[in-house]
């Protein structure tokens, strides 16, 4: 029974191959193994555990779901959570050495600290920006020469405003956006270098931010990275002592294997934290170890890593991703109900349409 359970729930790593990578979503595939799906069983098994979280990074475990669900959450995080980003640039003056098109592209990739949930999508046929769908920034800066009498060669000493940063962007509230002043609308980071200039160079431009999603353009993606991996499981099929124990410890990432002292003073290897394993499979390089160590991955235990660009906290992004996925499911169920209702009506009426 335990062998069947391992086949059903674990991915097996060998020296050159990986086994049991395909999940089975229907019952009866494995003899004497009850994998019938039910909502009660799913609710009992499913859980989300937050391992660590900061203002921009989050690691959490999602347990009890298929890889398709985990990957759907990841894809929604990357491509379907709306943000505000610079969409158009009105360049009134650009005498720097950077071309207008390159400068506009760089500006578009600057993350803007604004909650897109407070705005509407701009209509394609809309001509003028409104307070409901647009944020406006102004960038006006000119490089001048400092009065330096020494033989200095450092540009920071010779010139003023020779480096243009995101802190030089000023938010201009549109009529009706006065209530947003308390929200701190600004670029996420103030020290992003936009361009460099020399005396006589000047930038005068208006920047317009709109609401969008990552599948339209990468600049709207709210995450820098969103990835997951399966929870590692390491089984020692026998006990390892002395030099073998030390060699086993070196074959894994730091912290995976620990050495404990036995009652007779020997060093014995124990699995301390399999979660830290990076799937290097270095243990299979040693003939004296490889046949006595089993490397597994838990098929329905996903370790998510989410790094926000800083527009929204990572826990908010994950919540929004799950809400978006739930909305897709509700829409699909509604479409199914509509189709089934249409079929029932067709049968009852007995008429072709």
Q: Are residues 97 and 46 in the same domain?
A: no
| pLDDT mean over 191-208 | 96
| Mean pLDDT computed over every residue of the chain | 90
The verdict on residue 351 lying in a domain is no
Q: Which of 50-54, 285-289, 338-342 has the lowest mean pLDDT?
A: 338-342
Which of 185, 220, 255 is the last residue in one of the domains?
220
The verdict on residue 158 lying in a domain is yes
Cβ atoms of 230 and 297 closer than 8 Å: yes
Q: Are residues 16 and 113 in the same domain?
A: no
The verdict on residue 350 lying in a domain is no
Which of 191, 220, 249 is the last residue in one of the domains?
220
Cβ atoms of 80 and 37 closer than 8 Å: no
- What CA–CA distances, in Å, run from 79 to 82, 189, 214, 304? 8, 22, 4, 16
The verdict on residue 15 lying in a domain is yes
Q: Are residues 236 and 110 in the same domain?
A: no
The verdict on residue 17 lying in a domain is yes
The 10s digit of each residue's pLDDT in 23-76 is 665 666 666 667 677 888 888 889 999 999 999 999 999 998 888 999 999 999
The verdict on residue 232 lying in a domain is yes
Q: Are residues 112 and 50 in the same domain?
A: no
Which of 156, 185, 220 is the last residue in one of the domains?
220
Q: Are residues 105 and 179 in the same domain?
A: yes
| pLDDT mean over 244-272 | 95
Q: Are residues 43 and 152 in the same domain?
A: no
Question: Tokens 């799906």 belong to which residue?
Answer: 37
Using CA atoms, how far apart are residues 173 and 134, in angstroms rounded to an integer? 10
The 10s digit of each residue's pLDDT in 105-122 is 999 999 999 999 999 999
| pLDDT mean over 208-236 | 95
Residue 52's domain comprises 2-21+35-79+225-306
The 3-state secondary structure of the chain reads CHHHHHHHHEEEECCCCEECCCCCCCCCCCCCCCCCCCHHHHHHHCEEEEEEECCCEEEEEEECCCHHHHHHHHHHHHHCCCEEEEEEEEEEEECCCCCHHHHHHHHHCCCEECCHHHCCCCCCCCCCCCCCCCEEEEEEEECEECCCCCCCCCHHHHEECCEEEHHHEEEECCCCCHHHHHHCCEECCCCCEEEECCCCCEEEEEEEEEEECCCCCHHHCCEEEEEEEEEEEEEECCCCEHHHHHHHHHCCCCCCEEEEECCCCCEEEEECCHHHCCCCCHHHHCHHHHCCEEEEEEEEEEEEEEEECCCCCHHHHHHHHHHHHHHHHHHHHHHHHHHHHHHHHHHHHCCCC
pTM of the model: 0.85
Q: Are residues 143 and 66 in the same domain?
A: no
Q: Are residues 46 and 115 in the same domain?
A: no
The 10s digit of each residue's pLDDT in 130-173 is 999 999 999 999 999 998 877 888 888 999 999 999 999 999 99
Q: Are residues 140 and 153 in the same domain?
A: yes
For the record, the structure tokens of 295 come out as: 């490397």
């Amino acid at each position: 029974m335990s062998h069947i359970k391992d086949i059903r729930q674990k991915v097996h790593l060998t020296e050159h191959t990986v086994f049991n990578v395909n999940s089975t979503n229907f019952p009866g595939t494995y003899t004497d193994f009850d994998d019938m799906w039910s909502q009660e069983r799913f609710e009992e098994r499913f859980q989300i555990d937050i391992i660590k979280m900061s203002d921009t990074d989050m690691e959490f475990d999602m347990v009890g779901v298929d890889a398709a669900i985990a990957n759907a959450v990841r894809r929604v995080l990357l491509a379907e959570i709306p943000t505000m980003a610079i969409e158009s640039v009105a360049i009134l003056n650009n005498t720097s050495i950077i071309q207008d098109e390159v400068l506009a592209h760089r500006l578009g990739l600057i993350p803007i600290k604004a909650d897109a949930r407070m705005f509407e999508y701009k209509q394609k046929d809309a001509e003028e920006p409104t307070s409901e769908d647009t944020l406006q920034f102004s960038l006006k800066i000119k490089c001048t020469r400092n009065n330096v009498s020494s033989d200095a060669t450092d540009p920071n000493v010779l010139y003023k405003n020779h480096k243009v940063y995101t802190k030089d962007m000023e938010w201009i509230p549109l009529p009706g956006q006065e209530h947003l002043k308390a929200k701190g609308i600004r670029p996420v980071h103030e020290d992003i270098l936009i361009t460099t200039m020399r005396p006589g160079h000047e930038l005068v431009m208006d920047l317009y931010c709109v609401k969008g999603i990552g599948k339209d353009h990468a600049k709207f993606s709210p995450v820098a990275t969103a990835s997951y991996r399966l929870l590692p499981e390491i089984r020692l099929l026998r006990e390892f002592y002395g030099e073998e124990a030390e060699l086993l410890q070196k074959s894994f990432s730091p912290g995976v294997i620990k050495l404990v002292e036995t009652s007779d003073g020997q060093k014995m290897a124990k699995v301390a934290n399999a979660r830290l394993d990076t799937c290097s499979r270095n243990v299979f390089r040693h003939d004296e170890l490889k046949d006595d160590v089993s490397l597994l991955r838990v098929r329905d235990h996903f370790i998510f890593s989410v790094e926000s660009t800083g527009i929204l906290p990572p826990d908010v992004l994950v919540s929004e991703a799950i809400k978006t996925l739930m909305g897709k499911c509700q829409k699909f169920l509604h479409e199914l109900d509509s189709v089934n209702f249409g079929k029932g009506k067709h049968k009852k009426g007995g008429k072709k349409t």
